Amino acid sequence: MAQTEKKGGLLRKSSASKKPLKEKVVLMYDEVFTTEDPSKNNPRFWEELFLMKVNLEYLEGKLEALDGEELMKIKDNINCLFQHCIQALGEEHPIRVVNALQTLCALIRGVHQKNKSTSGFDIINMLVGFDKAELCMKNLMESLDSLLCAEGSESLKSLCLKLLLCLVTVTDNISQNTILEYVMINSIFEAILQILSSPLSRREHGYDAVVLLALLVNYRKYESVNPYIVKLSIVDDEATLNGMGLVIAQALSEYNRQYKDKEEEHQSGFFSALTNMVGSMFIADADEKISVQTNEAILLALYEAVHLNRNFITVLAQSHPEMGLMTTPTSPIPTTPVTPLGTTPPSSDVISSAELPLDADVQTSNLLITFLKYSSIVMQDTKDEHRLHSGKLCLIILTCIAEDQYANAFLHDDNMNFRVNLHRMPMRHRKKAADKNLPCRPLVCAVLDLMVEFIVTHMMKEFPMDLYVRCIQIVHKLLCYQKKCRVRLHYTWRELWSALINLLKFLMSNETVLLAKHNIFTLALMVVNLFNMFITYGDTFLPTPSSYDELYYEIIRMHQNFDNLYSMVLRISTNAGQWKEPASKVTHALVNIRAIINHFNPKIESYAAVNHISQLSEDQVLEVVRSNYDTLTLKLQDGLDQYERYSEQHKEAAFFKELVRSISINVRKNLAFNTLSQELLLKEFSTIS
């Protein structure tokens, strides 16, 4: 018996006969692609079509092969197919619904590919026709809403979400996708929330639901009233918000786990042996090869939740066991293509808080800790464009958190202590910290550690000025809260002071190179004003009087850096040029630091001379400092504890527009044929009644 091969919609016998035989569904598609009404000769045409297994590749390819004129000739049949797809969504038989959903995906993508150069209105006309668009799209959205909210098949829900993601991401710039006007008018927001609030639905569809919501929120967000923004901002249902938090936490945990696995694999391999042999000179180069795709889509969802919904802030601190340590039942996961932005769903199931019993032996975590660990990984290497965007978004999220009163309350809460193992960039001049020695501290300590880590590790030729500015702003906002609420945080402030002084030193050493690209005086002013904040208000928030003494010790010890900075800004501010004004602001800001140096240095020299000591110990310098505070005169500087609040629309619109565009492209790539495969669906609906 001759074997049958199947390829591209053709059935070919491998025996003597070489003439290809087309599948019935392909023959039916061919009838749609004529100017005749396919149901004219066969009244049951549409009924039969949706019982046939969809050939996505053939249908999309057929649409793409036609030119604009040819497509217009068969517009009536395309409209008819689209309308019958929508009608089929209301059928009781799931096979018809599945086939209708997949056909809709192929139609939307195929027609859009053909109409890339034309406006969205042409696409709407080509798919449904202007005269029927409103009613058809209303029926489509209502059907999808019903399927998503029904008790029925999880596979159908999955396909509905895929279709919606297909609809949203069909254009690179989602704000130019006018089909989305109908998704705005006929909202599926409640259906998305229902998925997130139910443990079963969330486990199956939480990732797609969260990404879909993040994209919908970004549709024309600056030009018109977006109902998804309005609705997301007022959600207060605890189960829904926690569900959203768990989906995001799971996706970020999955990234952290993959990175850790690669890191361990890397360290046990060839480079480990090599570095043991020749020292640590290759460490930085070796670790650059540890790369896991970043996930901007889920990060965008976290940003929108934190930025828009005050109630979501509580979710950040919601405790659950460390997800990486939990064992979850494994199930076969359909493979999806890996994309540069890692918009593929996480491979582990999302677990609801009800399913996470707290165990005394398991390290407790929360969404904020998971996010801080994620940030510590992606912020290591900002040379890569995707990681740079990810790092920037992480800092924007932290900026929103640092401005929030309630977030600050739990960040600084002494009763909420956690051990946060941040990833540290391997550097030649420092040893890798042992994870087990990490103390349990308030969460704000981990945020400050992350900022210090970034400051220390990114002083390079391709200087990420924007990220440094955001980093210093976050530290400043946290200090403003501590000053306002008189929170005395037990933190190793010396590490921060040292990092800031080294940053000033770097700016001065690379003045010429950096000034060609950046206004370094803005950053220098921010750093100097952080010191002014400590000098002016440190007695209200530093943990002990000796901490305040140590601040003066660091300033005096590193006085040469401040002296050099003053000389540099004085030189530039006395010459006419573009940097005159910003440099002069730094000159004025240095007044108290210079007063401290000029007051204490002669006293220290005098003490050394009287006591015949060539080099004073730290304790001896501190003794001089403590005994000479009374005669020190400082100027009161205004506005040190004030800051400009974060505003997306005015300053970040261009960044988010580009970010959403790249996410849209990559989500679309992930909706490949294999993610819409019918095999699982047909198994589920194998009994045709």
Residue 580: phi and psi, rounded to 5, are: -55, -50
Q: Which of 316, 329, 331 is nearest to 355 (CA)?
A: 329
Q: Does some domain include residue 17?
A: no
Q: How many domains, in total, are found in the chain?
A: 3
Q: Residue 432: what pLDDT?
A: 59
3-state secondary structure of 528: helix
Asked whether the beta carbons of 166 and 158 are under 8 A apart, the reply is no
Query: In terms of DSSP H, where are the helices of 558-617?
Result: 559-573, 580-589, 591-610
Q: Does some domain include residue 97?
A: yes
Q: Does some domain include residue 8?
A: no
Q: Residue 309: what pLDDT?
A: 96
Residues of the chain where predicted confidence (pLDDT) is lower than 50: 1-7, 13-16, 119-120, 275-289, 324-343, 347-362, 673-674, 688-689
Q: Does some domain include residue 77?
A: yes
Same domain, 260 and 305: yes
- CA 563 – CA 553 distance, rounded (Å): 15
**Residue carrying the six token digits 């690379």:** 510
Q: Residue 294: what pLDDT?
A: 83
**Residue carrying the six token digits 């150069």:** 117
Domain boundary among 418, 451, 486: 486
Q: Does some domain include residue 202?
A: no
Same domain, 300 and 449: yes
Radius of gyration, CA atoms only, the chain: 31
**Residue carrying the six token digits 């007695």:** 539
Q: Residue 63: what pLDDT?
A: 86
Q: Does some domain include residue 556?
A: yes
Q: Residue 369: what pLDDT?
A: 96
Q: Residue 243: what pLDDT?
A: 96
3-state secondary structure of 546: helix
Same domain, 40 and 171: yes
Same domain, 669 and 541: no
Q: Residue 118: what pLDDT?
A: 52
Same domain, 675 and 612: no
Same domain, 389 and 373: yes
Asked whether the beta carbons of 106 and 60 are under 8 A apart, the reply is yes
Give the number of other CB atoms < 10 A from CB of residue 486. Answer: 9
- CA 683 – CA 515 distance, rounded (Å): 64
Q: Does some domain include residue 228?
A: no
Q: Residue 129: what pLDDT?
A: 86
Same domain, 402 and 261: yes
Same domain, 473 and 520: no
Same domain, 464 and 576: no
Same domain, 453 and 555: no
- CA 629 – CA 618 distance, rounded (Å): 17
Same domain, 503 and 593: yes
**Parent domain of 535:** 492-648
Same domain, 482 and 496: no
Asked whether the beta carbons of 196 and 247 are under 8 A apart, the reply is yes
Q: Does some domain include residue 352?
A: no
